[in-house]
Amino acid sequence: MRVSKRASGALAVGAAFALVASGCSSGNNDGGDAGASKDGAIVIDGTQPENPLVPANTTETGGGKIIDWLFTGLVEYPNNGGAPQNALAESIDTKDSKVFTIKIKPNTKFHDGTTVKAENFTKAWNWAAYGPSGAQNASFFSDIQGFGDVFTEDPDGPDGPKKAPEPKAKEMSGLKVIDDTTFEVTLSAPTAVFPTKLGYSAFMPLPDVFFADPAKFGKNPIGNGPVKFVSWQDDVEIKLTRFDDYSLRDKMKIKDVTVKIYQDDTAAYNDLVSGNLDFQQQVPVSSLAGEKWKNDLGDRAIASTTPTTGIIAFPIYDKRFQNKDLRRAISLSINRQEITDKIFFGNRKPADSWANPLTPGAEPGNCTACKFDPEQAKQLLAKAGGFKGKLTLSYNADASHKEWMEAVAQQIKTNLGIDAVAVGVPTFAVFRQNINAHKMTGAYRAGWQQDYPDVENWINPLYVTGGSSNDGLYSNPEVDALAKEASSAPSIEESHKKFAEAVKIIDQDVPSMPIYFGGQQSGHSEKIKKMELSNVGELDITSVEL
């Protein structure tokens, strides 16, 4: 779902991050054809963003990578998977992991020429946390003192007859501006992982113009990153161009970037092979057979390992999926090894844990529901009273999900006798709109790409009540309590232990089904001389040389 940031600076944070293989060279200019590189342009593949481009209201990768290029936050995550580092932050200091003093680098600019100030962070965070704003990422601010006073939820869901009560306040008491370049953040409890989270896009600064009309801003966003927004033609393309007044390390080496929005990844791949596309993040599954993609692309083929997991989730708000024995039965009927071998030709690994093993704090092998056990699956299905009617497994058809989703449906049908069928939704944007509206009537594809390098990111957004990406509305008070203890633990080690306890309960409840761990196969055109992938496999556009 969401992505991580570019890399730079120096931040003393103890969270290590497992090394991720990234493509090509370091991206440092070696004195080659600088003129061509400086003024060049590239076309890369993308998908239609689900929402207008507002950082705190973007939770999927189509819009997420655009946000990551348009904005620079306090913290960034190195392409090589190293520890978080400062970006816009000059320093992030704390004596107790509860009160943080954050100084930002002076005189950096938004794309409209205004200066980025401390209040651009505090105002943005307060807007995102304020319940009536409706920001999907509001829960990321729950660590901050006073969050409960600004955020309230609908008692019967967004479509229910009752409205959420009016919040007690419009601003969190834990945010305080000291001067133009300094602000103080007070958390509800000591939280060791807090600085690590600050590279996620929910924490980006927003210019003053945003607050006059947030809806309008989202279609013509003004960021503070190395590229600025030019135009957006729905379902066709998004155009970006270099921000020449950008003053931080990761300046653009080329001038223009066009994100071409495809409805079919095979069409994108054909453009890549023929030289009409300069980068495709994931080549189609059909090109993996016999390593066709490597034969087509030669040394322009890039294989990498990323902290992503392919998941199928349940709409637990649907009464048919509220029995955990049924959910476990379905999960146990899936042969993940067969999926990765036959559909992905060994380019993915079968999932056996709830958090991707590349993530700090993730424990391998803790998903007992991920085992293939058709006999136990049949017993649990009988215990649950069976399943009546058709079981749909929905996916977005504008990427390569048809093959593996159909294979999963066939396995469920063969091993449990359930009438399971995979159903494609034409575009990712429409697919996500249905998920967010809680209108899914069957299981659905719900992969996760970590936002920041800590196991917390695999628990709180996905499985805590009210989490930003808890789309199936799973809720267990024991999980909530343990996750709260883990999030407010004074050390990373203690936090990880508590999250491990929460995962044991999640594993028994099976709110979703991890299927495979991500392996990524990307490709670039002959036009690109140097480039790097980010730690989550996206193109680092600031590294590109032509």
**Integer Cα distance of 123 and 354 in angstroms:** 35
Q: What is the pLDDT of residues 84-108, one digit of tens each?
A: 999 999 999 999 999 999 999 999 9
The per-residue pLDDT for range 324-334, each reduced to its tens digit, is 999 999 999 99
Give the start-to-end residue ranges of the domains of the chain. Answer: 34-257+525-545, 307-519
Which segments of 49-195 are extended strands (E)? Answer: 75-76, 85-86, 89-94, 99-104, 175-179, 182-186
Tell me the pLDDT tens digit for each residue of 100-137.
999 999 999 999 999 999 999 999 999 999 999 999 99
Q: pLDDT band at 145, cuts 50/70/90?
A: very high
Q: Is the pTM of this model over 0.95?
A: no
**Residue 194: φ, ψ to 5°:** -55, -50
| Least reliable range by pLDDT among 29-33, 101-105, 505-509, 529-533 | 29-33
The band of 22, judged by pLDDT with boundaries at 50, 70 and 90, is: very low
* CATH-assigned architecture of domain 307-519: Roll (3.10)
The CATH topology of domain 34-257+525-545 is: D-Maltodextrin-Binding Protein; domain 2 (3.40.190)
pLDDT per position as a tens digit, 235-284: 999 999 999 999 998 899 999 999 999 988 999 999 999 999 999 999 99
The residue length of the chain stands at: 546
Residue 352, C-beta contacts closer than 8 angstroms, at least 6 positions apart: 336, 364, 365, 366, 367, 370, 371, 514
Q: How does DSSP assign 225-245, residue by residue?
A: SSEEEEEEETTTEEEEEE-TT
**CA 165 remoteness from chain centre:** 30
Is residue 311 classed as helix, strand or coil in its secondary structure?
strand
**pLDDT score, position 541:** 96
